[in-house]
Amino acid sequence: MSNEKATRKSTISWLAEVTKKYLVLLSLFSTLLAIPVGFYFNKAIVSNKPLISNTVLVLAFLTIFPSMIQLKTEGLLKSMKKVKEIFLSLLYVFIVSPLLAFLIAPTLGDPHIGVGYVAANVVPASSASIGYVLIAGGSIELATVLAVLTLILGIPLIPILIGMYSSSVSISVPMEPIVNSLVEVLVLPLILGQLTRYILLKTKGAPYVDKTIKPHLSLATMLSMLVLIFVLVLNQAMTIINKPMLALLIIVYQSIVIVALLLVSTLISKALKISYEDHQALAMISVTKNQSVAAAMATAALGPQSALAPALIPIIQPVLAIAYLNAESWIRKFLKS
């Protein structure tokens, strides 16, 4: 039996590594597959909008829940002393990113798509963000603090920011569905994830939680994300086919936003003498966004048609994040010089 468990564990670990290695290509494949499928089954999709919306919520929950089990809230007080880094992260997440989104969204034409784009830029860190920090050799402790703070503060601030933009473009966005979706895809996974973590820590121990089941949780997150991307693009297939330049524009705009934020954060970290480890935690948590949450909110409040941006951004976000991580040696030298 132990040999079977070891074999199963090694298989899961291998699958998780392969999926992680080719996540960008798999995301692209999921997108390209969903477009013709969405075109062929367009009538069925149009007649089942409530089912699509509920599916998005379920998949968003499944994408986020595993990362909430991995989220370490123990020992957060120690990293809470890094006031400068925390302030900068909150500035990037809740002021700079929304401001850029507010400026870009009106140029997308359809105000509903614009609201979806804003939602994609005001949500907290993605489930992959702490993983990026780990790969970069950044401070996991600080990354955890920033992830938890942006998560908690995002619950009241996200509806306010979306409401500010929607009122400026004369779009009526009901706040109740946004708040409900935040509870369903942020608060509920956080509570259940931390409860699950506590039970596992007590019954199985820390090595089991932080090492043994980590590949299982990572694989579950990535597979759920790929299915979510498929469903989101499936529902947006006709829009992408009829307006390919709009889809390309969203990807280009988000690329500019991510590159600009990474560049600005690097320059500011240099000016304020922030260490490489703390900078990587600050940059990755502040710049990479949880599009699962954005998709759930946009779909709940305005319908699936507003989820175009959250459907497309996962194609480019990991590419730019990984490209930045590959510049590790240059960033280290720049911050130390």
- Tell me the backbone φ, ψ of residue 59, rounded to 5 degrees: -65, -35
Expressed as residue numbers, the domain containing 329 is: 2-336
- Name residues whose C-beta falls within 8 Å of residue 312's C-beta, 6 or more positions apart in sequence: 31, 233, 236, 247, 250, 251, 254
Average per-residue pLDDT in the chain?
81
117, pLDDT greater than 50? yes
CB atoms within 10 A of CB 5: 10
Question: pLDDT digit string (tens) for 147-183?
Answer: 878 888 888 888 888 888 888 877 766 667 677 767 7
Question: pLDDT digit string (tens) for 220-272?
Answer: 878 887 888 888 788 778 878 888 888 889 989 999 999 999 999 999 999 99
- Residue 307, both tokens: 């989820």
- Name residues whose C-beta falls within 8 Å of residue 285's C-beta, 6 or more positions apart in sequence: 89, 93, 125, 129, 130, 133, 143, 146, 147, 150
Mean pLDDT of 188-214: 85
Question: pLDDT digit string (tens) for 309-334?
Answer: 887 887 787 778 878 877 878 888 88
Amino acid at position 327, single letter: A
Domains in the chain: how many in total?
1
pLDDT of residue 115: 87
pLDDT of residue 258: 92
Q: What is the SS3 assignment for 297?
A: helix
Q: What angle do CA 321, 286, 126 make, to 5 degrees?
A: 65
Distance in angstroms (rounded) separating the CA atoms of residues 320 and 258: 8
Distance of CA 118 to the CA centre of its chain: 14
**CATH code: domain of residue 263:** 1.20.1530.20
pLDDT of residue 1: 45
Query: What are the angstrom distances between the C-alpha of 323 and each of 196, 317, 320?
Result: 34, 10, 5
- Residue 242, both tokens: 């009829």
Distance in angstroms (rounded) separating the CA atoms of residues 191 and 72: 13
Nearest in space to 260 (alpha carbons), one of 113, 43, 103, 127: 103
95, pLDDT greater than 90? yes
Nearest in space to 235 (alpha carbons), one of 7, 6, 3, 37: 37
